[in-house]
Chains A and B, each alone.
Chain A
Amino acid sequence: MSPVSRRKFVTAGLAAAAGVSGMAVAATLAKRYGLVPPDSGGLYGPGETLTYAAQRLLTRHSLAREFPRSMISKTPFANELAPFNDAFKRHQASGFRDWRLAIDGMVARPASLSLSDLRSLPVRSQITEVVCEEGWSYVAEWIGTPLAGVLNASGILPQARYVVYYSIEPDWWESIDMADALHPQTLLTYAMNDGDLPVGFGGPLRLRVPRQLGYKSVKFITRLTLTDSLKGFGKGVGGANAEGGYAWYAGI
Chain B
Amino acid sequence: MLSGVPDAVSLGNSDSPRHAAFVRVTHWITTVCFFALLITGAEIVMSHPRFYWGETGNDLTTPLFRIPIPASRNLVPTGYHYVMPDENGWSRYLHFEAAWAVVLTGILYAIWGLWTGHFRSNLFPAPGDRTWQAFLRVIAKHIRLKRPEESEAFSYNVVQRAAYLVVIFILFPLVICTGLALSPGFNAAFPVVVNTLGGRQSARTLHFFISAFLLLFLIVHVAMIVLAGFTNRMRAMISGKLITEKVTGGVIAGKMTSSSVTMIRQTVAEERI
Query: Measuring CB to CB, which residues of chain A are less than 8 angstroms from any residue of chain B?
Result: 43-44, 46-48, 50-51, 55, 58-59, 62-65, 67, 71, 73, 75-77, 79-80, 129, 131-139, 210-213, 244-247, 250-252
Judge whether B184 and A64 touch: CB under 8 Å.
Answer: yes
Instruction: Give me 28 A-to-B residue pairs in the complex whose CB atoms sit less than 8 angstroms apart, sorted by A's number.
Output: A44-B90, A46-B100, A47-B97, A47-B100, A58-B189, A62-B185, A62-B189, A65-B187, A73-B58, A75-B61, A76-B60, A77-B60, A79-B75, A132-B48, A133-B88, A135-B45, A136-B59, A137-B56, A139-B56, A212-B184, A212-B185, A246-B92, A247-B93, A247-B96, A251-B184, A251-B185, A252-B184, A252-B186
Known: A51-B96, A75-B61, A77-B60. Contact between A134 and B188, CB under 8 A?
no
Among B55, B74, B191, point to the contact of A137 (Cβ < 8 A). B55
- Which residues on A sit within 8 Å (CB–CB) of B185? 55, 59, 62, 211-212, 251-252
Determine if B94 is an interface residue (Cβ-Cβ < 8 Å): yes
Judge whether A71 and B200 touch: CB under 8 Å.
Answer: no
Judge whether A211 and B89 touch: CB under 8 Å.
Answer: no
Greatest chain A CB density within 10 A among B50, B57, B185 is at B185
Q: How far does the alpha carbon of A247 sit from the alpha carbon of B96 in the complex, in Å?
A: 10
- Which residues on B sit within 8 Å (CB–CB) of A244? 89
- Which residues on A sit within 8 Å (CB–CB) of B10? none
Q: How far does the alpha carbon of A133 sit from the alpha carbon of B183 in the complex, in Å?
A: 10
A interface, by DSSP: helix, strand, loop or mixed?
A: loop
Q: How far does the alpha carbon of A46 sit from the alpha carbon of B187 in the complex, in Å?
A: 22
Judge whether A67 and B55 touch: CB under 8 Å.
Answer: yes
Judge whether A51 and B100 touch: CB under 8 Å.
Answer: yes
Query: Measuring CB to CB, which residues of chain B are less than 8 angstroms from any residue of chain A?
Result: 44-45, 47-48, 50, 55-61, 73-76, 88-90, 92-94, 96-101, 182-189, 191, 194-195, 200-201, 204
- Which residues on A sit within 8 Å (CB–CB) of B60? 75-77
Judge whether A252 and B96 touch: CB under 8 Å.
Answer: yes
Judge whether A64 and B200 touch: CB under 8 Å.
Answer: no
Q: How far does the alpha carbon of A63 sit from the alpha carbon of B191 in the complex, in Å?
A: 10
- Which residues on B sit within 8 Å (CB–CB) of A65? 187-188, 191, 194-195
Q: Chain A nearest CB: distance from B75 CB in Å?
A: 5
Among B44, B74, B191, B194, point to the contact of A135 (Cβ < 8 A). B44
Judge whether A44 and B94 touch: CB under 8 Å.
Answer: yes
Greatest chain A CB density within 10 A among B56, B94, B201 is at B56
Judge whether B88 and A246 touch: CB under 8 Å.
Answer: yes
Judge whether B188 and A137 touch: CB under 8 Å.
Answer: no
Q: Chain B nearest CB: distance from A61 CB in Å?
A: 9
What are the 5 tightest A-B residue pairs by CB atom distance, in nearest-first order?
A: A47-B97, A245-B89, A251-B185, A44-B93, A75-B60
Q: Chain B nearest CB: distance from A162 CB in Å?
A: 17
Q: How far does the alpha carbon of A116 sit from the alpha carbon of B104 in the complex, in Å?
A: 51
Q: Chain B nearest CB: distance from A240 CB in Å?
A: 12
Among A134, A139, A211, point to the contact of B48 (Cβ < 8 A). A134
Judge whether A213 and B184 touch: CB under 8 Å.
Answer: yes
- Which residues on B sit within 8 Å (CB–CB) of A210? 184, 188
